[in-house]
Amino acid sequence: MLTPKYPPPDTAPTAPAPASAPAVDRTPAATTPAPVTPAPNRPTIQLTPGTALALVGGGTAVVLVVGAVLVSMLLAVAITGVSVAVCAVVLRSLVQDLHKHR
């Protein structure tokens, strides 16, 4: 199940070497372009049920971790906001008490 699957080896036929080279005229009109070898095809990705299950599990784990981090950051901001509001109310009441006693 977890063994890698290798693509089959390239089975393109190779051109046989010529037995004897014939005399070639070296004028510019008689030159022939070199044969172009095609690039090997890239192997396609095979999704097996085990691979798909691993991708889904990994994606779920990432979403859960990112969600937990974002929720904890939101909670930290909310707690900080509430504590600043409480401090502001306490300071306001202290300032009002100072003004009343003068």
- Residue 12: the pLDDT is 67
Give the CA dihedral 14, 18, 23, 26, nearest 10 degrees. Answer: 20
Query: Quick count: other Cβ atoms within 10 Å of Cβ 51?
Result: 13
State residue 45's pLDDT score.
77
The pLDDT profile of the chain, 102 residues, written as one tens digit per residue, is: 688 787 777 776 666 666 665 666 566 555 667 777 776 677 777 888 899 999 999 999 999 999 999 999 999 999 999 999 999 999 999 999 988 876
- What is the radius of gyration, based on Cα positions, of the chain? 38
Core vs surface per residue 10-44: b (16+ CB within 10 A) or e? eeeeeeeeeeeeeeeeeeeeeeeeeeeeeeeeeee
